Structure formats: C-alpha cells, structure tokens
Structure 1
Amino acid sequence: MTSYRNSDPRPPIMHGSPPSMVPPRIDWDRPPWNRWSFQYIREILPTVEVWKGSGHASRLPRAERDLDMLAVRTVSGASSTLADLLDETFTDGFLVMKDGAVVYERYFNGMTPRTLHLSQSTAKSVTSCVAGVLVGRGLLDPSRQVTDYLPELADTAWKGATLQQVLDMTTGVRFSEEYTDPYSEIGQTDVASGWKPIPPGADADFHWPSHMWEFILRLKALDRPHGEAFEYRSIETDVLAFAMERVTGKRLAELVSEELWQKLGCEESGCFTVDPAGYALADGGFNATLRDYGRFGQMVLDKGAGIVPSQWIETSRNGIHGPQFSTHMPEASYRNQFWIEDPRTRNLQCRGVFGQLIHVNFDARLVTVKLSSWPDFTSPELSAATLSAVHAIAEALS
C-alpha cells in the first residue's frame, strides 16, 4: 500500500490493543504511515511543549460559507469541486479565514479541532517571526555575520555569511535536500534530529551525527560564494534558531511560547520534536492545531498585529523574484523564511513537505490553512492544484 485518500477505506494503523499495524520507526513519515503519524507525533518522538499560557483563547468570529461545491480544477486540470479536491490532495484539515472570521473549516482522516498536526517546514516561518521580534529588540542584526552570534561556526562553511543570508537561504553552504537519500545532508538531519534511527544496513564506517549542533559543526564545504544564489536548505533555519537561543539564553520552544503562542491566544499548546541534546527542531518539528495555525496566519495578515514588528512582515514580502525559486510558482521568491508568491500581490506562504500550507492573501484579507499527508514529499501538481483552489476561494469571497 502506498497511501489512501479520505474517501478510501482506512487501514487499521495503530488500531486495537495491541495495534495490528504499527508504523516502522524508519518510515513513520512515509506513506501510508504518515496519514496517521502526522497527527500523533507525541506517540512517536520525544517532544517539548510550546505552552499556550494560562489565559483564555482569543475569539475566532465565524462567518461560515459552504464552499464544498465551489468550482475548482483537479490535479489533472478537469473541473471539479473543492470537496473533491480536498479528498484528491490527501487533506487532514482545511481552514479559510476572511477578515479574521472563520468562513470554512473541515477536518478529515480522524483529525479534530484539538489535534496537533506536524507542520514540516511551516515551522521555518514560525521561527522567523520570533527572530523578527528579536531583531526589533536589537538582540539580532541581520546584517551582521553569523559568527558574531555563533563564533564556533568560524570553522564551518558559514564563515563570512550574514544572518540575512541565512534567513534568505542564500549562503553557499553545501547541503543536499535530497529526501530519499539517507546519506544526503537532509538524510543525516533525520538522524541528528532524532527523527530516524541509523538506517538498517548502513555503512558501518559512516559517522552519523548524534545531535543537530554536532551536525552543523561538521558542515565545512561551500558550493558557491555566500549571497550568490538561493538554494533551499533546511539547515539554515536551525542555524538561525541556535543564534536566537544564544542571544536570549532561552530554548526555542520557550521563545515561541512567550513571543507567539501566548500572545496569539492559541487554543492548544503546541510542541516541537527534540533531538538527543534537547534542541527543538526549528526547520520542521513544530506541531499545532488547525485553528492555531490560522491565528498565526492572521497575525501575519495583520502585519504583525503588535506581536511581531510590522517592518519584519513588510520586509518578508520583498524579495528577488525569478523562476529558480519554485517549480509551480514561476514568479516566486523567498525572504526571511517565507515564500513570496509573486511580485505583484506579494502574498506570503508558509510551506512544508507532504502538503502543509498557510497562505496569506493581503488584498483579499484571506488566510487559508491546509494540513495534509501526501504520499510524496513534494508534488508540483498537487501544489499547483491547491494554489489554484486558494485563488478560486479568494475570488468567490471577494
């Protein structure tokens, strides 16, 4: 079995006592297991809480519209409905907010309003917003070199790189994001972060990193001069997070709690996966509920809402655009750990593998959140169909 849609019969993954189908430790994030595991990270990996605080959750007004039958395009380009597309694209949760009010909210695949869902690289944008707070307080300066904050990196490929280049993923550090190669740098990140064990049958002479900081210190090769080009590399977010921890003396989960989750008035505490040294994985280990991701997106739409400096959000909407950034968004750009859809709308996106998306449409005053468990890490076809549906929703609600 590769995977199953919400309209298909659900296999009994982790059903029964003892369960009859248990995700293998090496493949918990691969299909079909990810259809279960993305909602149950705390049963698979060690995590640290991102406390929501003791205050009441912020109110989410409701102005509901039934968009199930909204006309959209399928992955193949045929005419269909939003409900069918959500099934076709392995959706777990889908939320649309207009002017801060919930317009459309749907849950699938056993997910509920209280379920925490893995964000994958959406976590990068969450980390970025806390970095923006620290920049606003003068604790971080994007123009300074990374080694000003982490002097140990003088012996790595980050020597000479600025914090802004880390934020924009334009350092020249050699890092392969080849997800299916266990020996690639992202494959080694799986082991260093505690997400995966050393692969069965691995080369006995290969030295696997024991935690993320050790792994970062081992990256000494350059592919190009710093600042020359964008290349998507998850490790940049972790370097940023270590700098944030160094200047504050606090761990990342505590920073996200204090600077975002409590101030947003989130309904549920979130969590990060942690490595064997207790480091919360900034590049993809964050978990939260659908509505709380919506609250985060609304804060971005409201240009920081007094929580994150408005200048940070504005700066994040300005990048160098071109076809080298995204396969399904030919005019996209990347800035401050956010995706910019195009140079006209400057809409922001938080994106993660296997179909995670927070889309912020500033002109339409719309936030769309999609949590998914695709059978593939990336899919230009599923991404394009989803983005087309997001545009159709914006048009219908304008």
Structure 2
Amino acid sequence: MTGSDAAPPAGDRPRPAGLTLETWDRPPLNRWSYQHVDEILPTAPVRRGVPAPLTEAPAQLDVRAFAFPDRHGRRLIAGEVLDTSWTDGFLALHRGRIVCEHYANGMRAATPHLTQSLSKSVLAALAGILHHAGAFPLERTVAAYVPAFRDSAYADASMRHLLDMTSGVDFPEDATDPVSGVGLMDIAVGWKAVPAGNPSPRSVHALIASLRGRSRPHGARFEYRSMETEVLGCCIKAATGARLADLVSSLLWQPMGAEHDASFAVDPEGFAVADGGLSATLRDLGRFGLLYARDGAAAGRTVVPEAWVRDTRIGDPALFGGAYAEGRRRGAYRSQFWIDDIEGSVITGLGVFGQMIHIDWQRDFVGVKLSTWPQARDVARRVEACDMMAAMARALAGG
C-alpha cells in the first residue's frame, strides 16, 4: 500500500500550544514535534549526495488485507496494527524494492522524523567503517581517545564495551529523578531546561567527565544505557577530528544514495546527540537497513564492511537477561543492534516511542516503522510490530 492519511502535510500544521523545552518530546506533543525537531532544537545537517532511487515492486503488499498470526496465536491484520500503534510512517522492502509504504499523522516521504535510539545503530555503522579503515581501534580505551576523560568512570572502558553496552559505569537509563542518570543527559544535551539553582553539566563532554560511579567490572554484563553511545561519539570525533554529522554524511548517507538530507540535534557545544538525535526520512532509513540486510553493500559497492555487518549478527546471550529478555527468546545485543534470537536471521534497531528497523538478511527484507507512541516503551506493542514484519518477510520470501 502506498499512500497517506487525510491529514495536512506536516509543514502546514501549526506548532501546538503548550510546547516547551520541558514538554516537546513527550506525548501527545511528540505527534507534532518528532517531525519538526529543527524548529525546536539546534541541529547540524547530514548532507545527501546523488540519490539512488528505490523502485516499487510489481506486486504491492496490501496492509489492509495482510493477516498474520502473532506469537500467541492471535490472527491480526497489519493495517489495524499500524492504525492502533500511532504510526507516522511504515516501509517494507523486499529484494531492495518497496512492497509497502504508508504515511499517517501528516508525515510525507520528504518529512524527516526523529529516530531516537535508531541513531545508535547508525553511529555503530560509522564506527565499523572507521575501524576497518584502521582509524578507530576498538581495543583502545576512552581515556586514550579523550584524555580529558581520564578521571571519568569511563576512562578504561574500551570501544567494544561501549558498542555492546557492557561497561560497568553506574548511569541508570530509567531513573525517574530528572537530575540523575538519563535525566542529567537530557539537561546536558539541551533537551531539557536546567532546573533553577542546579549545577548539572551543560554539555555531553562535561557530563562524561563528571561521572565517577561504577556498579560492576567492564564487560561483565549488558545494561542498556544511552550514555555509552554518547561516549562512543566523543571518541569517534576525537579519533577523526571531524563532526559526527559530516562523517555520517560522507561515509554513510552519500555512499548509500540517501534521497534527503538528515540532521542531528546538537548539544550547547555543537556536539551531535549521538544516542538519539538523528532525524531522517522513512526511505533513507530503509536504505540504511538494506546495508545490514546485504552484507554492507549498496549499488554494488561496499559501504559498511561485510565483516562488521556479519559480526553484528552474533551476540552473547550470556551477557543478556533480566527485563531485556522479555519478548526475546534467546536474545543478545551487539554493536548497538538488538538480536531477538541468536539462532535466527533478524537484527533490529529500536528507539523509544516506537521507532524500529527490522532487518532479515536471509529473506532480504527490511521493515521500518516510525511512531509516536504515548509511552516511551511498550513491550507488547514492540513484539506485535516485530511479529508483523517477520510474517511479511516470510510471506514475501515464500517461507
């Protein structure tokens, strides 16, 4: 299905009342703001080069008719799943061609949408490109790349620890206190105002340098923390001397044939918000997913090294568990991608409020879903969307 709802184009929709720095990224205002980040926050462009067209497959997949069983045996209709999960855009690619493209909530093909933590997967691809070029050794420590972090709890963590989120640094992702854990990061990157009289760090670099606590040895187990990606981004910038937005442009967006410019939100010092600040169009996220479905290649040339892509598919379930295992039978996490089943052929990129890239390399299938859920995390809704895309991949590939 190719089309859109009857809502006006995103550019024609007025800024909603009550949108402030405190409220912009929370429901229901996220329904507007995720398509208008550059009107709310400072950003840096990720320039495209010569676009590589995506063509439509001769036979389109009709989401209004596509029925599938979820893992609980219920019969669901894809269109109803999209309609009831605050979808802004959905794209399915099979064998590199569009089999389904759907827009809602005023979004259009040229509309950039905040990707939240899908940004992490893009940054990991950048790290892989640089690593295989010899410019970014993964065994080096944070302090070796950024001497200013030598007193930080991250100082002796390696790039591999950061990529797999296995450092032992104490920095809780789900803290409710706005001035601890990820709440501090929101202030540091400029996504939330500084509370009156609060001495919180005012930039990503300052926040990383201030961290001292550890909860375990590096490498002991996986714990999802967005700060790991911010530290990784700082190390990439230190290793190359280039802005992250420029690197993503020259090493990813241009070589893969992106159709539109993307952008990164930046902190008060102009540093890209590496863990969740990327805004991009639906099709360009599909192009990115195709790199991981096709061993790193686009239009016959290698963009992401094949060895890096293949390694990303192999995680260690022994480091993975607890709440992260919910909905993941034999799960793992590797290089900023989720693996639901280490014996399967799927990796996923995920972002809060319903951002998803589903990549099945054996079936040459990529699904992208951009959303504005009313909750940051919803396991049932995530699993339902994953089941839908897995069913589409099986149907298109003949099993």
- Answer yes or no: same fold by TM over 0.5: yes
Letter in 1 for 2:162: V
1:85-164 superposed matches below 5 A: 85-164=81-160
1:14 Cα deviation from its structure 2 partner: 8.9
Residue 26 of structure 1 is aligned with which of 22, 37, 55? 22
Q: How many residues align?
A: 384
Matched, 1:61 2:44: no
Partner deviation per Cα, 1:371-393 (whole Å, 9 max, x = no partner): 00000110111111111111221
TM norm structure 2 = 0.91
**CA shift at 1:395, angstroms?**
2.1
d(CA) in 2 for partners of 1:8 and 1:182?
A: 38
After superposition, the C-alpha distances for 1:230-271 in whole angstroms (9 at most, x for unaligned) are 100101111111111111110100000000001111110000
**How far has the Cα of 1:328 moved from its partner?**
2.0
List, as ranges, runs of 4+ consecutive aligned residues in structure 1 with deviation greater than 4 Å.
6-10, 12-16, 73-78
1:179–1:383 Cα change, 3 Å: farther
For residue 172 of structure 2, what is the aligned residue in structure 1? 176
What percentage of residue pairs aligned between the two structures are identical?
Answer: 40
Shift of 1:184: 2.4
Which secondary structure does the structure 2 equivalent of 1:189 belong to?
helix
Instruction: Determine if contact 1:297/1:358 at 8 Å carries over to the other structure.
Output: yes
Number of the residue aligned with 2:75:
79
Aligned partner of 1:188 in structure 2 is 184
The letter for the 2-side match of 1:217 is A
CA deviation after TM superposition for structure 1 residue 190, in Å:
0.8
C-alpha contact 2:5 2:104 (8 A) present in aligned 1: no
Q: Which residue is equivalent to 1:260? A: 252
**Cα deviation digits, residues 3-55 of structure 1 (max 9, x gap):** xxx99999x99955xx56242320111111001111110111111100102x2
Q: Separation in 2 of the partners of 1:345 and 1:62?
A: 27
**Counterpart amino acid of 1:379?**
D
1:356: which partner in 2? 355
- Cα distance, 1:311 vs structure 2: 0.7
Confirm or deny: 8 A CA contact 1:15 1:21 kept in the other structure.
Answer: no
- Equivalent residues of 1:119, 1:287 under 8 A apart: yes
Q: Per-residue displacement from partner, 1:278-310 (whole Å, max 9, x unpaired)?
A: 001000000100000000000111111101111
Which SS does the other structure have where 1:263 is aligned?
coil
Q: Unpaired segments of 5 or more residues in structure 2?
A: none
TM-score (normalised: structure 1)? 0.91
Counterparts of residues 196-211 of structure 1 (less than 5 Å): 196-199=192-195, 204=197, 206-211=198-203
Tell me the equivalent position of 2:161. Answer: 165
Contact persistence 2:7–2:106 (CA under 8 A)? no
Consecutive unaligned residues of structure 1, counting only runs of 5 or more, are 1-5
The answer to whether 1:47 aligns with 2:43 is yes
Partner of 2:366: 367
Task: Confirm or deny: 8 A CA contact 1:13 1:36 kept in the other structure.
Answer: no
1:3 corresponds to which residue? Answer: none
1:397 and 2:389 correspond: no
CA distance in 1, matches of 2:174, 2:48: 35
- TM-fit CA distance, 1:68: 2.1
Aligned match of 2:321: 323
Q: Output the CA distance in 2 between the equivalents of 1:72 and 1:330.
A: 20
Once residues 77 and 251 of structure 1 are traced to their aligned partners in structure 2, the CA distance between those partners, rounded to angstroms, is 48
Q: How does 1:202-281 map to 2 (within 5 A)?
A: 204=197, 206-281=198-273
